[in-house]
Structure 1
Amino acid sequence: MPAKPDVTPVISPEVAFGRELRRMREAEGWSLDALGARVGYSGTMIGYFERAKRSVPETFAARAEEILGLNGELVALWKEINPKAAPKWFRQWPKIESQALLIRTWEPLVMPGLLQTEEYARALLHAEPGASDEQVEEMVRARMTRQTIFRRADPPMYVAVIDEGVLHRPTGGKAVMRAQLEQLMTLMDHPKITIQVVPLEVGATPGLLGGFAIAQPLSGPDTAYLESASNGQVTDRVDEVRAISVRFDAIRAWAHPVHVTRDVIRELTERYGQ
């Protein structure tokens, strides 16, 4: 019997920031309005920040730090909400992921970010031209933080379709790839995660031009993220998302069923161990 998935409650960075702000404000004995008067925001808006109902400006985090006499605590939490390591065009996507009921993703070249091990992510990010060790580590931490959505009590349904070529590319070397494929097999036991592989024999598919993901929220329109060599695109335009969704279904039609995918991954895992 597969082990039960870890459902440790996960606090989002937004909630963590709000709780810390409230704790520090109350420690000073200040009302919402009293803190607001000192930092130049209304008490109502600060209440929104504390309940994670509004995006927190960087200027507010810095000013609150100063007024509350802190040493970087709030700014550090703000950076978790808005990681500088991520490109500006990508920063909204983790928030969309965290609020999704269903995420569907296709990857023709690399392992999907939500499935990567630390070492795989580190090897991949070190390949970025000009990336320093410090930048790489910050990006790795941000990527691992995104993966905490699977440890929530209510994780989203996640469907990943991966080109088999991704499994054959020895990113980081044999040991890193073996650990990565072992993680895939573990994740396949999660009741909310489905992983399928498109075999190499298929040849050309509708997905060879690039990876993408589609997030379906509880309410509102679906949103898609499209990858490219220089920058990505996040869109909720109905016509664009519909076209991407049709493409996903067309690609998935070529994929191995789950039980065959597991066999393919297991066989390659053994090869990387030789």
Structure 2
Amino acid sequence: MSASEYLVKDLRRTRELLGLTQDAWGERIHFSAKHVGAVERGERPALPDYLTAVDRAFGTTFMQFYRMFVQGELVPVWYRPFVEHEGRASLLRVYHPLVVPGILQTEAYARAVLVGRRFQPDTVDGIVATRLGRQEILYRRPDPCQLVAVVDEGVLHRRVGNAAVMRDQLKALVAACDHPNVRVQVVPFEAGAYVGLDGPLAIATVDGRSVGFLEGHLEGRVIESPDATKDLEGAWEAIRDYALPSNQSLELIMRTAEKWT
């Protein structure tokens, strides 16, 4: 039995031990009975917002189990060290020239990305849940992670899923920036050739030091040596030099979202 399967089983067992129907359970955690049933049948992943609501209502520790066992269950071995750093980061800087960074993806967009990359269908649900679960660091209290994300303008126009998926994803990017700890910027087409075309990167600041990550076709690479992370931060700053200011970036994202009809 996988960790995620055990989590779902334990959620259902806890509800039954408390003598609550799915309707009563849902009312206590402010989720619909339909949502509760979908989680318990394994049709919908148990995500941090759901688990946090359960813990708050019943004094359980499902989020702790999620962080310790579920979150890394479907994360590739070579990516797990960076995910662990990301989970403790006070600042996260990410750049992607092709797709919306994972930490800002909607469920539908993430699913379309994974299907496009030909992941096995029976693993997609778990990977999507893990990816969405990583977003918890942006909304944790009392110290949410500061996020600065830069994307190429091509990301706004590259169809991932259908038009509705794209429109909702772009609107979600704008909505994320309502939080004071989240900033999204766009490198416009007019920038021409720039260092970001070399590929995506991420830099997590953990306990005052920087840890980087570079994606590859087969696997990614964690960057920890001071000299290498310094070079990576230089590349990051060079990319941001080409990006539009935050307000102009959001205006561009909103205009493009309206075109996805």
Pair in the same fold by TM > 0.5: yes
Q: CA contact under 8 A between 2:203 and 2:210: conserved in structure 1?
A: yes
Q: Is 1:217 aligned to residue 178 of structure 2?
A: no
| Residue number in structure 1 paired with 2:88 | 99
Specify whether residues 262 and 76 from structure 1 end up closer, same or farther in structure 2 by C-alpha distance, changes over 3 A only: closer
| Residue number in structure 1 paired with 2:153 | 164
C-alpha separation between the residues in 2 aligned to 1:188 and 1:175? 20
C-alpha separation between the residues in 1 aligned to 2:169 and 2:161? 10
| Residue number in structure 2 paired with 1:50 | none
- 5+ residue gaps, structure 1, are 1-12, 21-73
Match of 2:218 among 218, 223, 230: 230
Q: What is the CA distance between 1:175 and its match in structure 2?
A: 0.5
Deviations 1:191-227 (A, max 9, x none): 00111000011111101111010011124x3100101
| Residue number in structure 2 paired with 1:57 | none
Task: Give the ranges of 4+ consecutive aligned residues of structure 1 lying more than 2 Å apart after TM superposition.
Answer: 74-79
Q: Is 1:147 aligned to residue 135 of structure 2?
A: yes
| Residue number in structure 2 paired with 1:116 | 105
Q: TM-score, normalised by structure 1?
A: 0.69
Deviations 1:135-192 (A, max 9, x none): 1111101001101111211111110011000110010110000000010010111100
Q: Secondary structure at the match of 2:111?
A: helix
Deviations 1:3-62 (A, max 9, x none): xxxxxxxxxx9xxx9xx9xxxxxxxxxxxxxxxxxxxxxxxxxxxxxxxxxxxxxxxxxx
C-alpha separation between the residues in 2 aligned to 1:99 and 1:75? 16
Q: Secondary structure at the match of 1:190?
A: coil
C-alpha separation between the residues in 1 aligned to 2:66 and 2:144? 26
Q: What is the CA distance between 1:91 and its match in structure 2?
A: 1.3
Q: Which one-letter code corresponds to 1:244 in the other structure?
A: L
Q: CA contact under 8 A between 2:71 and 2:130: conserved in structure 1?
A: no
How many residues align? The count is 200
Match of 1:80 among 64, 70, 82: 70
Deviations 1:105-145 (A, max 9, x none): 1111110011000000000001223x222211111010011
More helix by share: 2
| Residue number in structure 1 paired with 2:183 | 194
Specify whether residues 207 and 152 from structure 1 end up closer, same or farther in structure 2 by C-alpha distance, changes over 3 A only: same
Q: Which one-letter code corresponds to 2:72 in the other structure?
A: N
| Residue number in structure 2 paired with 1:180 | 169
- 5+ residue gaps, structure 2, are 11-63
Q: Secondary structure at the match of 1:253?
A: helix
Q: What is the CA distance between 1:79 and its match in structure 2?
A: 3.4
Seq. identity, %: 38
Match of 2:241 among 253, 266, 271: 253
Name the Cα RMSD after superposition.
2.1
Q: TM-score, normalised by structure 2?
A: 0.73
Specify whether residues 133 and 239 from structure 1 end up closer, same or farther in structure 2 by C-alpha distance, changes over 3 A only: same
